[in-house]
Amino acid sequence: MFPLQRGRRLRTNESIRSLVRETSLSPSDFMFPMFIAEGENVKVEIPSMPGIFRRSIDLTVEEVKELFELGIRAVNIYVKVSENLKDNTGKEAWNPNGLMQNTIRAIKAACPEMIVMPDVALDPYSIYGHDGIITNGDVENDSTNDALVKMAVSHAEAGADFVAPSDMMDGRVLRLRQGLDAAGFHNVGIMSYSAKYASAFYGPFRDALDSAPRESDVVVPKDKKTYQMDYANRIEAIKEALWDVEEGADMVMVKPGIAYLDIVREVKNAVNVPVTVYHVSGEYAMIKAAAERGWLDNDQIMMEQLMCIKRAGASLISTYFAKEAAILLNKK
């Protein structure tokens, strides 16, 4: 009679496996990160991210319409601004006619139901490639928060549904919530990058936006480790997420994804708001590179990783695979 319990009975065929499957994916689980460039009819592939492009606003709008038809309901947008617009204040970030603001307006005009979550951080606008204002050789926390509030309010004025602070300044969620409310944007949400680690997985993203820390004739931090988290730490991630919820975050994010699924589960267990996971550029690039060499099956690895992120506790997955995965899911 041994054994009485046989787990394989529930794995006999795909029909049975589908009946007892604990986790599922749908296109509405995904958010697509998009890179925006100046100009018209511009579509430039990012060399380290095959299949991902910097697009001008007109082509971005067309892509957003396709994403919505596939069932994707959110986009996270980032801009590559001209060098002549960069300085140490980040003032271009709250230009009402800036690239980000014009992109938000264009997307919402063309596809009003698409949820738009613009990035809130100064690194695309900084001559030093940092997420904040450099003062006395370091990123100055509180003056950066003041700048981020101006940036977020300008996004809300342009029509953003959520703002997505990725800077990791202390107290910025509270300042953003206060600033948005004071400007009358009580219904604009905050998706906070709460546990954003100082990770080497971000390399291709920084290539896409030219947002890596730069050498300079003034003293600046050589990396982002004074504000992004130490990847050796777990309890700190829970603390950061709880602080952000207390300060008014509507969603919290863990970034990167696959290498940090223990953190995803810890944060999910600790907070009572949706948890977003950013499946980042380096994770995407590794799969693409291995698939190009025939070492891995792109589609199988893609779907396995996305399912594992969802299983770990993600309510929403920001991923460069969003369109590919949605197409596959819609074929089933």
Q: Where are the domains of the chain?
A: 24-330
For residue 3, say if its preceding peptide bond is cis, omega within 30 degrees of 0: yes
Q: Which listed residue (86, 108, 224, 255) is catalytic?
A: 255
User: Does 45 belong to an annotated binding site?
Assistant: no
Q: Is residue 196 among the annotated active site residues?
A: yes
pLDDT at 168: 96
pLDDT at 217: 67
Other C-beta atoms closer than 10 Å to the C-beta of 62 total 12
Is 274 a residue whose pLDDT tops 70?
yes
Is 281 a residue whose pLDDT tops 90?
yes
pLDDT at 213: 73
pLDDT at 2: 82
Is 219 a residue whose pLDDT tops 90?
no
- b/e 178-195 (16+ beta carbons within 10 angstroms → b): ebbeebebeebbbbbbbb
Run of H or E including 55: strand 53-55
Q: What are phi and psi of 55, to 5 degrees?
A: -120, 145
Q: Per-residue pLDDT averaged across 38-63, rounded?
A: 96
How many residues does the structure list for the chain?
332
Q: Per-residue pLDDT averaged across 214-236, rounded?
A: 87
- What is the three-state SS of 196-263? EECCHHHHHHHHHHCCCCCCCCCCCCCCCCCCCECCCCCHHHHHHHHHHHHHCCCEEEEECCHHHHHH
What is the dihedral sign for C-alpha 315, 321, 326, 329?
A: negative
pLDDT at 208: 73
Run of H or E including 195: strand 189-196
pTM: 0.95
Q: What percent of the chain has pLDDT over 90?
A: 91
Is 214 a residue whose pLDDT tops 80?
no
Mean pLDDT (the chain) is 95
Superfamily of domain 24-330 in the CATH hierarchy: Aldolase class I (3.20.20.70)
pLDDT at 1: 66
Asked whether the beta carbons of 102 and 156 are under 8 A apart, the reply is no
- The mean-pLDDT minimum among 151-155, 210-214, 319-323 falls in 210-214
Q: Count CA atoms within 13 Å of residue 190 on its CB side.
A: 29
pLDDT at 237: 98
Q: Which two tokens stand for residue 226?
A: 């004074």
Query: Strand, coil or helix: what is 276?
Result: strand
Looking at residue 63, its amino acid is E
For residue 47, say if its preceding peptide bond is cis, omega within 30 degrees of 0: no
- Any idea what the Cα angle at residue 185 is, between residues 180 and 187, rounded to 5°? 115
Per-residue confidence band for 216, with pLDDT thresholds at 50, 70 and 90:
low
Query: Strand, coil or helix: what is 67?
Result: helix
3-state helix, strand, coil in the chain (%, to 5): 45, 20, 35
Q: Per-residue pLDDT averaged across 144-173, rounded?
A: 98
- Any idea what the Cα angle at residue 218 is, between residues 212 and 220, rounded to 5°? 45
Per-residue confidence band for 207, with pLDDT thresholds at 50, 70 and 90:
confident
pLDDT at 211: 63
Asked whether the beta carbons of 319 and 325 are under 8 A apart, the reply is yes
pLDDT at 221: 85
DSSP 8-state code for residue 126: B
Q: Which two tokens stand for residue 213?
A: 């820390």
Q: Which listed residue (86, 196, 288, 323) is catalytic?
A: 196
Is 218 a residue whose pLDDT tops 80?
no
pLDDT at 332: 79
